[in-house]
Homo-oligomer: A and B are copies of this chain.
């Protein structure tokens, strides 16, 4: 099924929030409360993001997380890889990495007739996932009217 996992969703919500804090340290507790998700899950997600070098973590009291690079340099593809442990693969035998080498372990079909077109699709998907970044998840500037009513300009 072509669906993001909840963990990926939580990762995006977390990164969006951290990015919005613009360099300030943010704790897992704060993120969990803001999003409305249990602390444990958010902590696990942030840990995975840290492992992959997307976030940086400061342990101890007053510790927390911040982004290791700017939002525009963190792609959806990076986030998925960090959370799932490997890049997205539309089918088992086609990855964005071994597109050229033929060490495909898929011996399912006597002769696989969809590998080539699937490779093309996988490539398109990768291009899309790489082009989307955390910047795309950030709100546009908030405009204030003269009467101080806050109007948020959405895309």
> Which A residues contact B (CB, under 8 angstroms)?
1-5, 9, 12-13, 16-17, 35-37, 76, 80, 84, 88-92, 108-110, 113-114, 116-117, 120-121, 124-125, 128, 132, 136-137, 139, 154-155
- A-B residue pairs in contact (CB < 8 Å), sample of 10: A1-B1, A1-B5, A2-B3, A3-B90, A4-B91, A9-B91, A35-B110, A114-B137, A116-B155, A117-B137
Q: How far apart sit A124 and B2, CA to CA, in the bound complex (Å)?
A: 13
- A131 → B minimal CB distance (Å): 9
For A35, the chain B residues whose CB sits under 8 A away are: 109-110
Is there an interface contact between A124 and B114, defined as CB atoms closer than 8 Å? no
Is there an interface contact between B4 and A109, defined as CB atoms closer than 8 Å? no
Q: How many of these chains are in the complex?
A: 2
Q: How far apart sit A37 and B137, CA to CA, in the bound complex (Å)?
A: 42
- A130 → B minimal CB distance (Å): 12
Q: How far apart sit A137 and B121, CA to CA, in the bound complex (Å)?
A: 10
- A100 → B minimal CB distance (Å): 13
Q: How far apart sit A119 and B75, CA to CA, in the bound complex (Å)?
A: 17
Apart from A2-B89, A124-B132, list 20 A-B contacts with CB within 8 A.
A1-B5, A1-B84, A2-B2, A2-B3, A2-B88, A2-B90, A3-B92, A4-B90, A13-B109, A16-B114, A35-B110, A36-B108, A37-B109, A113-B137, A116-B154, A117-B137, A121-B132, A121-B136, A124-B128, A125-B128
For A37, the chain B residues whose CB sits under 8 A away are: 109
